[in-house]
Amino acid sequence: MTNHSAPQEQQLWEKWEQERDSETANELVRNYMHLVHYHVHRISAHLPQNVNKEDIKSLGLIGLYDAIEKFDLSRDLKFDTYASFRIRGAIIDGLRKEDWLPRSVRDKSKKIETTAEMLEQRLQRAPTSEEIANEIDSTEQEVEQVMKDTLFANVLSMEEKPKDTKSEHKEGIGYSIPDNSSKNPDFQMMKGEDYKELAEGIKQLNEKEQLVISLFYNEELTLTEIGQVLELTTSRISQIHARALFKLRKILENLATVE
């Protein structure tokens, strides 16, 4: 293990390796609890409001405990990196097993999708969320929120673990080793398209939407922090974020259709 930790943390890890007692485990959990809070906050930003953050936190804690149990001190790997993938993986797995999206939201999503396709044929272009809302007697905000809520369902299927269980290599999400040199994987959450299509889609967003997407996915700021930067409320940033995701989803679907 490289000397990434402070001497006190190093001693704590050495004690854990020797004794494996609950007191040391709890102290390690307290030391790295900020990782759980971080991933809970980021993942919750993509989930419907009905999903309890405490439930997500419990899933994250399972991942943290698992990381502490399985971390190999002899490996040249920073625990924060290893634990982050375990925590995120535990949350994703837990969400996948639960029907966290209400039936009412699923029904509204299907209605929106159908209406969007109908309007696209009529208008010969991708409809706006406002046009869809007018057609189904809803509000623009509700349409965008439903699309944002259902977007994460695609993420869960995209992050399925490989079916090949013969491999002994089991690390992080999908049993894959984190590549610290790779780009932020959160961008893949939007649709799973390649970066070229995603970049093309982002160019079609307005300036404020592009900025929010960049700050959230590239700079990894929270919605609250972005609000402070742009001097807007968290609620307003959330609306801009939802609208941007809605637009991106439609843009990428159109690009895929063209291809």
What average pLDDT values come out for the chain (259 residues) when binned by 10 residues?
62 89 92 92 76 88 93 84 90 78 81 86 83 90 78 53 41 38 43 58 84 81 84 81 77 61
Long-range CB contacts (within 8 A, 24+) of 175-181: 178/81, 178/82, 178/84, 178/85, 180/81
Q: Give the pLDDT of residue 239.
A: 77
The residue among 97, 114, 135 that closes a domain is 97
The residue among 97, 116, 143 that closes a domain is 97
Number of domains in the chain: 2
Q: List the end-to-end C-alpha distance of the chain, in Å, as a whole number.
A: 47
For residue 17, which amino acid is it? E
Q: Give, as one character, the DSSP assignment of residue 217.
A: I
138's CB contacts (< 8 A; 6+ apart) are 132
Q: Give the pLDDT of residue 218.
A: 76
**Residue whose token pair is 């780009």:** 183
Q: Are residues 236 and 144 in the same domain?
A: yes
Q: Are residues 162 and 141 in the same domain?
A: yes
Q: Which two tokens stand for residue 84?
A: 């982050």
| Cα 17 from chain centroid (whole Å) | 32
Q: What is the distance between the alpha carbons of residues 161 and 172, in angstroms, rounded to a whole number?
A: 10
Q: Are residues 134 and 52 in the same domain?
A: no
Give pLDDT tens digits for 104-128: 878 888 898 889 889 888 988 778 8
Q: What is the distance between the alpha carbons of residues 224 and 192, in angstroms, rounded to a whole number?
A: 26
Q: Are residues 226 and 252 in the same domain?
A: yes
Q: Are residues 87 and 146 in the same domain?
A: no
- Domain annotation covers residue 1: no
Q: What is the distance between the alpha carbons of residues 126 and 124, in angstroms, rounded to a whole number?
A: 7
Q: What is the distance between the alpha carbons of residues 80 and 28, in angstroms, rounded to a whole number?
A: 12
Q: Give the pLDDT of residue 27.
A: 93
Residue 219, judged by CB atoms within 10 A of its CB (0-12, 13-18, 19+), counts as exposed
Q: Which domain holds residue 89?
A: 7-97
Q: Residue 40: give its domain's CATH number.
A: 1.10.1740.10
Helical residues (DSSP H) of the chain, grouped into ranges = 7-19, 22-44, 53-70, 79-97, 103-123, 129-135, 140-158, 195-203, 207-213, 223-230, 234-258
Q: Are residues 42 and 123 in the same domain?
A: no
Q: Residue 216: give its domain's CATH number.
A: 1.10.10.10
Q: Give the pLDDT of residue 257.
A: 58
Long-range CB contacts (within 8 A, 24+) of 75-80: 75/1, 76/1, 76/2, 77/1, 77/2, 78/2, 78/4, 79/4, 79/5, 79/13, 79/32, 80/4, 80/32, 80/35
Model confidence, pTM: 0.56
The residue among 97, 132, 150 that closes a domain is 97
